[in-house]
Every structure is written in structure tokens, then in C-alpha cells.
Structure 1
Amino acid sequence: MHPLFLPSSSSSSALFLLLLLLLTLQTLTSISLSQPEALPSPEKCGNFSISFPFHLSSSSSSSPVPFRLTCANSSTLFLHRNHQTYRVIEFFTDGLLVDFPSSPCRQFNDLRSFPFSTNQFFSISFENVISLYDCEDSSLCKAGCESNVLFGCDGREEDETSGGGDIGCCYPLSDHSAWRPGDDFSVFGKYGCRGFSSWVVPRGRNRGKRGVKLEWAIPRNSSEGTCDPEARTVNATAIQGSVRCVCRDGFAGDGFVHGNGCLRSCYRDGNEVYGNKCEIKKHNGKKLTVLAGVLAPLFILGSLLALFCLLKRPVTTTHEGQHFDHSPTTTTTSVSFRKGYTKTRLFTYRELEEATKGFQDSQKLTQGKTGTIYSGNLKNGTRVLVHKVLCENQIEFLEISSQIDHLSAVLHRNLARIIGFCMDIGYNPVVVYEYPVNGSLEDRLRLGLDWCKRVNIVAEVAGLLALLQYENYPPILHNNIGSGYIFLDEDFQAKVTGFGLQRKQRTDSCMYDVAVLLLEIVTGSKQREENVTQALQRIRCGKLEEIVDPSLYFHEQPVVYREQIGLVADIATRCVLFGGDGKFGMVDAARELLQIAENNGGGGCDKKGDGIEETFSNSSLLQMISMSPDSIYLPKT
């Protein structure tokens, strides 16, 4: 069977109508379906109720192995990790409180007595507050930490201490200055500390429970991590790339498809009830008749329109083994921002699974707020980037389908060309991009990249983002720009991928992302939130050279390049400080970066092709960028 190439105008209409029909059918079907009237009974161990993904080792649950627990004497619950046994004290929605392994209760424990290593399922939580004993470096102690009420050994009230009574040097793990996610408590040994105790202090409270809280989560791309349609996905705070499912308001359950899912919850006669018991029985038949009467004509009309669009659709085919035409005549060679006719292929999910080897981790290139990008090879040998877009519900699914068609019609030399997409019901939307030959900016920074290329790349990216934001309606915001989503062609020109295609996007977060990107080309490394704060502090204190990428050999650079590094760092600072209130926008950043890149044009920077300023040709933004800051009008978004 030959793959079809659909023109974007007709395919968008047909696709949207087909999606509308499917959703209509689903709505009609869901009216007649019934929900269970009670949540399944959880496993028990003494006073503990055990919910998915946790389960007893004696059960036949399909939960991941790391969440297996053992119940001793029908009352005491244990977690087993790396040949260590931890007694469970309490469950939280995002974690569990455990005791120190196989040791009697004591005021201070050895720093090596809790050898817990972080993995994709568990990590020591930020909510732990620890008391350190006999530390040589008192700078570790944090003022105000002692105001927490921390109970003594065994939690006896008579041993309660507060106000800094006898808890030694107090340090909250949320401070991040000495302890980072992935560390265990032995890291405090380098400060000369000899022992520690731990409490969990939930956010917004000042009373601690003795023990160590472990955060749990499930890898985002695993089948066990699939959320119920009535649940939202929550990112773990201390475990990168892992999530939890939380039922939305009005629903109860564990939130996972492989668990109990989510049931509608409400109160009747003072008692919490679930499922059908929450439905108002009276007049249900009449309501169903009225609703069916309204939806049936829409269904018939939609069917006729969809059939008409499909019959009118022009179709071309490619033969087996034939490659996509990547010649400049069929793609955009112009650096201008314009819309035009473009062909995008409609893939099946199975095709893209085969291309990415089942979306294996070995094919994963980058992951962020907008989804995950994989490397793939189509059957005809074409290498592609496959972006699995994050999508939480059906409304977002429809928004993304519209935005994909809109974005694929945008022709710009710094926008990676969209080859096709997949919108199969039941799966995340997937966008297929061309694969630029020089890989991602993130990889190139690790290998080493000269300053000229770095500043040219970010100038091109900022120019593209400004054009998409201010010269396009509705505006297109990237929502997660970073070095992992920027790829480079044979001339090291930027090719941006990985757009977040939901419409609920904010310009202030885009400016922060640009700041992080600029800091990354200065420092040569990925910037976590705490690193961004520290980097900006050094910049504002005049200590820029302390954070510059060592591979740039800052002090050996020509004076003009050292000044440019300082200018880029200053732009990053203003993106953070003033990007949120509109005082410094994408146009401002693009204008200043363009000026820096233009100054490199005659300074020995190896630039190929048309000048970078042509990014803005045929655009009113070219005039805006040449204006003084006071004369620029920034459209509201």
C-alpha cells in the first residue's frame, strides 16, 4: 500500500472533522456506560492501606518490581532496596516515610547508615530537614530552620524540642547548596559532620515527623506510568523524567490506568460515594433522548462534510523505496518568513514505532516540557527526528492537530522542516522533522564549539522565535526552547524543533527559556534552576569568568569576543529580570543578538551562505529591530 501525501489545507479539515466525529461517538457511548459504584479494596498490612503502584510481594499485581513491599506479622510494612530493609512509617501521596534501616532509635545516626541511591523510581525527598552533629563547617547551618517543631526519638511528645533546642546544625534539603538530588547523606562528611537525624516537614507546615521521606514516581514513557483520562500528570521533583498520576477534582482513586484509575466521587447523605451513585437518576432517560437529538444531526452533518473533503482531496503516491524529495526546490531556501503550500505525510503510529525501534531509550535524543524527541529511520532510509508531543486530554489533542497543520505551513530557514505527523486516536500526537546532519546544539557544546558559531546560532533562534511570536496569528510560542531542541545543518545554521503545540503558553516562560539557552552557550553546560540563580549572581557580581565554558579559554580570547560573552550574559540577565513583565521581549533579545552576530561577520567568523540579517528579510521586524528601544511597539499576546 502506497503512503499518501496530503495537502495541508484539505487534510486539516478532514482530520479535524474525523476527530470531531470520533469524539461525538465517544460522548454518546459514554452516556450509556456505567461506572463501578465503589473503589476496589486496597491491600492491607495492619493499619496500612496499600495503593498502586505499591503492592505486597505475595500478591499477583503487575506493578513495577521496585514497589513491592513485605508485611511482617500482619502489621509491620517493609520496603527493600539494594539489600537494605526500611520500615515504612507512613504513606504520603507523593512518597513514604521510612525509618533508619536496622538500627535502634538514637539521637544521631552515622552519615553512612542510610545508603540510599536514587533511581528512576525513588529518591530522597526535598522535604526532609536534617540535624547535623559536630560539623566543622558552620556555614552549612541555615538560619530559621530551627523554628520547625521536631520531635525527639520515637516521636514521644515529652522529648519534643523546638526553637533550636538541641537539634545541632539544622539544614533543609530544599536549600540545595550542599545536597543535590541523587546524593545520600554521606555528602555531609566533607563538611566535617559526624552524624545526623532526619525529619520530614511537609510544605506549609512547621511540625516534623522523624524519619526519612522518599519520593516515588514512575518513568514517564513506561506503560505503568499511563494516567487515567480523568487524572493529570505530575512531574516528580527529585526524580528526573518520572511522573505520578493524580485524579482531578471530583474524582478519587490512584489515577493510573494499571491501578484503580479515577472514579467520580461525591457526597450523598453525608457519605462519600462513587461512580453511578453520583449520577442524578431522575430524568436520565429524558436527558439522554434530548442529548442524542442534538448530537445526531451534528454527527450526520459532520459525516457528510468529512466524506466530501476526503473525496475532493488530491492524492499523490510514492513508490516503495523512493526517498522524500529534500531538494532545495521543494523546501524553503528563502530566509524570509512566509506561508506557503507544503506537503506533509500522514504517518501511522506503527510506522513511527518501527522507525524508532519502539521508542526505545537508546533512540531518545532529548526530553522536556513539550515531549520527547527520538532519532528514527523510515523504511526508505530517510533519517528523521520523531517528536512525541505531550498531550493530557482530548481538548489539547484537537488544539495540537490544528497547530501542527499551521506550523507545517510556515517556511523559514531556521525552522526544521516538518515531513509529516501522526494523530492516531489513543496515542500521543507525533511530529516528524527532517534530521539536520550536525546533530543537536547540546551535543555540539559538549564536543566543543567556537564562540562565533555559538552566537550566530542563538541569534538565528531568537530571530525565528520573534517572528513566530509577533508576525504570526495566532502566535506560535516554542514553550521549551533549549539546546536539545536546536539542531544544526551542514553550515551550522540553526534548525529549531520540538514546539509545544498547546495554545496555553506564556511569553514570560519563553523569555526565561531563552535566558537559560544563552547561559548554556556561555557556560557550555545544561542549566538547572539553581544553577541559573548562581550564574546570574556571579554575572551581577562581576565574576563572569568563573562560569565561562573552559573550552572557550576566556582569557585567551580576543578582547572583542570577551566583550561579546559579557553582552550575551547581560542579555540573559535581562531576560530573567524583565522578561516576565514585558519590559524586555523577544524582539529586544533578537535585535541585540543580531547586532553581536553582525559584528562577527568581518571578524574572522567562518559564516557560510546568506548573512544572518536575512533571517528578517521581507519582514516588518527588520524595521523594528533597527529602531531604538523607545520607538518599538510590542504587540500584546
Structure 2
Amino acid sequence: MTNNFSTSLLLTIFFYISPSLSTYKDCSLVFNCGKIADVGFPFWGEDRPPSCGVPKLKLTCKDNIAGIEMMQVKYRVLQVDPSKKTLKMARDDYLDGICPETRLKNTTLNPNLFEMGDGYVNLTLLYGCNSPLMVVPDHLRFSCPVHGDGCVNLGEEMGLWGCKDSVVVPVRGDEGLLVGVSKMEEAIKEGFEVKWKVDSGGCGGECVESGGVCGYDLKLRRGICFCENGVSSSSSSSADVCRKDGGASVHQASGSAAKTGGSESKKKHIIIGLCVGGATALGLCLGCFVFCITRRNKKHVHPKLKSKDLASPPSTAPILIPSTFRSNIIPSYPYSRSDLENGSSYFGAQLFTYDELEEATHNFDPSKELGDGGYGTVYFGTLKDGRMVAVKRLYENNYKRVEQFMNEVEILSRLQHPNLVKLYGCTSRHSRELLLVYEYIPNGTVADHLHGKQANSGQLNLAVRLKIAIETANALAYLHRQDIIHRDVKTNNILLDNNFKVKVADFGLSRLFPLDVTHVSTAPQGTPGYVDPEYYQCYQLTCKSDVYSFGVVLIELISSLQAVDINRNRNDINLSNMAIDRIQKHSLGDLVDPDLGFERDYVVRSMIMSVAELGYRCLQQTRDVRPSMDEVLQALREIGKEVLDIGNDM
């Protein structure tokens, strides 16, 4: 027994130290590729393994050209300056001109890793612009046979009216950019500079000076110091710098004092080394002893607990879905409590403490409540930095809610689109309550303006409603291109800012959609009146399920009626059934909001009929005959062009 324990202890120590020896040698190497040379931490790639750098900072080398990929966009690395912690790069797809052959994507940077360099501004490129009403100087227009002719704009995105797509690219701010498209192309090729924000942790100057090399602790998500003797440190304190030669510090004292006291210093270090080694061995022994005792106790206690749990399950236990219908898309996240509390981000989202959000909402004051749903209540709050936010407080902190919570954080933190609500951050999954922090959108929801507390404002004319439809479709089409199904599309989840710009929200029911399957089998979830009937019957969730829900939204926009209203006639309680019935009977006048001028204006009547027809196609019982979200977006843009012509008269 003693021999086995000693052998296990020695093997444990060997395997604990051995990886560090290998990692030290690997991370001593630097990245070299063409003009980019001697690049080390926080980057990795080629001869440098993942443990030598931040996971998302992988460098590649092809034909002596260094590259990096971020948020599914490939960049050419132009310069790396470790002293200033800056990285200069240019988009690969725009090196040959302003009309790339690949799919259009925004330049999106992880705010937890980078901040834009000084002197750079956003350049917006609009594609597929066919509207004669878009007033843009000729020298800012360009020809693009791949994505449609377009134009450029210096500054933030200016909307998509009359255009199909837009791309935002950072460029060096210069008045000369306004000279023309060729100047802007040159600016894009010259690239832009970012400053990285990486927690160096134990990888400070003392690590390198003592002979160590910098690496990255994937668990703690911070820098770490690897040493030649196999000892690594996650702290930058002087007591933990690398040591060699039997425990003597790499730093040697200088002067006569060092010469006279050198041997005594070595003896002291040897004694200290032996003490530390003995303490480590003793700690391992105690750890093994506690583990064995705990494991033995669990064998005796577990059966009793199990039988007790089966006899009287807690009232908050989640309802389990049969494995046939459970989606295998959501992965498990093996992060511990300490991992989350030590980090400053979670899936790229900022971590807030419960106390600071409680303070921001005045202890979740009921007067600050913005709304509630089946999963939580949303409160208005103000952070210490002055930002106004919406804080979603999930009702229950059980397994089901944690899964939903993590799902929403993961999805929102990696999406960037002008018509999607921004997620600022969240609490730890181990917090006393699960809280999500969003940007505050001040003008309520589309439901509020159609049939809620702001329904009589008179601000939703036909032009505004078409704009809402287009921007919502644009957001959903973007999600589908990212292989994400929203699964809870409804007017209560479409927020409006003061300019009536759409912000689609509430991704708590979203599902990442795998590329190699046609549908996801899962128990139906969603809001009554919006749920795809085929999804409800067959448990098969697809992108066309969102299309059906959006069809209900289209009908709401032209009727101002609720998706479900038990005060209506029995056959008309469900708005989708009512719409299909009126359209088939050519009685659209009984459905449309009379304030839109359907009966008195032929042009308005024609456009509303076009929207109703599109809604009818979306509401088909069989998903295969419904249009895709991209097709819906294109059809709405065609209708939107007509609205532009009459918008000023409405």
C-alpha cells in the first residue's frame, strides 16, 4: 500500500512538472514570417503551441505573409509592436479593391481584447444601392458587379434604405478620404491599428529577466511564467520568479557583498528549496488523504441522498425533456466558480457583481420595471459610469434557467449588427441571481406602439412600419446567415429607439444551428400565436420557424391587432388564422388598420396588399413553401422603394 502510494506520488509530481519543461521550450520559440519577426506573447501559432498565447490571437504564415483571423474575418498582419502592445492589420478581402468576391462581413473586434488606435474612424461601404432618392456625390459611388453598385460614407453606418448590405471598416482619419473612392481604397489597404488588452498575470518583466518565458493559463485566462527548471508561476511577485542551479535564483547579487556571501546565499537557497519541496510533498499527501476519505464517505452517503431526492423532489426542479427531443446543440461549460470570479469577462461579456446591479436598479425598484415575460423581469438601471441599462432578472436560478442564461450570453456576445440589441454583460452563473445587462432602448417595443400603451401616438405611419419590417428582417436574415435561429420572434421582442430604429432582443430561446443538418429536434417553446405549427406538431425547429413568426409580425404591422386576442370571434382569436381567412376571401379591408388609409389611397392600398401577400407566404402551414428570410428581406426592400416615393406625403 505504501509503495503504491509513493509510486503514485512520484508519478503525480513527474507529470505535474514534465509538461512545464516541454512548454518552456516551445514558448521560447518566436513567430517569424516575412517582415513580421520575433513575435512572442500574447500571440501563438506555427511553432508556438496554444499554451504560449491567448486563444484568439493565433498567427498564421503563408507565402511569407503573416495573417490572423478574428470574428470570421481574415486579416494581413502588417506590424506588431510589443513595446506599445499594438497590432496593425488590413483586411485580406479588400486588398484587391472595394468589391470583394467573398461574403460581406463587418470589421468586428472583441472589446475585451482590443481597443481602436488613436486617429482611426469608421468607413461605411454600402452595396446594392439602387434607390434614385439616395443623394450621394458621384465621386463617392463605386461599381461592384459582385454585390451590386454602392457608395461610401465616412462615419457610422447610415442605414440601408435602398441598399442591400453594408460593411464598416476602420481607416486612418484624414480629410483627404473625401476626395474619392480610390483614396478610400488606399486607406483600407493601409490597414488600421489596435492596442491589445491582455492580462499579463505572472508574465511581467521579472519573468523574462529571470530566464522564464511567457505563456497563457487557459483556465485562469491570464498570462503565466514558464521556467526552464519546470517551475511555473502565475504571480509576478519577486518570490516566484524562475530559479535554477538547485534552487539558486537566476538573479545574482553584484558587488563585494555578493562575492563574500555567495556560498552562504546558496546554502540558504538550498535549505529553502528543500523546505518548499517537503511542504509540497506533505500537501500532496494530505490532499490524497482528504480525497480518499471524501470518496469513501460519498459511497456511504450517496444512496441515501438519492432515495430521498426521488421521494420528495424540490419544487424548483426543472421539468426534464425526453432525450428524443433534447437538443444536443448547447454544449456544457465546465467553468468553476473561481474561474468566473477571477475573470473579468464571460464569453466576451463583462462580468458584473450582483451588488452593483442591485444598486443600479435601486434594489430592483418596481417603479423601474420595464417589462416582464415568461423568463424574467427587466428593470431600468444606471451604472456607476453613467450608462443607462436594461437589467433582465431571471425568475429562477435552476438548471433550466442557467442553460438559457448561458445560451443568451454566448450568442449575444459574439454578434454585431446595427439591428440587434447589445449585451453589455452579466453576472456569474454562480451569482445569487442570474442577471443580464443590455443597452437601454428608450422608445419601447413595437407591440407598445401597435396595440399597447403608446398605440395612440400616431407615429407609426406606413413608412415607419415598413422601415421596422425591413430592419427586423435584416436582423433575422443576419442571424440565419450566422446559423442561429431566434425562436421567439414577436413584436414584444422588437425594441425601438427614439428614431424608431429596430433593435431585436431576447435571445434566451435561441439555438445555434449546426451546418450539417436540416432541422433541430426540440420540444416546442415560444409565445402562443407566433409558434410555427409544423414545429409544434413535429418538434422540428428550422430557420423557417422564424419566418412563420415574422409573418405574424407583418400582419400585426398592417392590422395593429394582437397576435392572440380571446375577445375576438372564436375563429379569429389567432391573428394568423384571421389573416389567412381574410386574404383568401379578398376581404383585406376587414383586417387592415383603418388609420393607414387603405380604403382611400390606391398607392397605399397596393403596398399593403403586397405586404399582406408576403405575410401570407410566410404563414403557410408547410415550411418548405415559405420563403427564406433573405427572400423576405429582398421583397420588403422592393416594397420599401415605393414607400420612399410617397413617405413625405404621409
TM-score, structure 2 as length reference: 0.41
Select the structure with the greater relative contact order (CA < 8 A; seq sep ≥ 6): 1
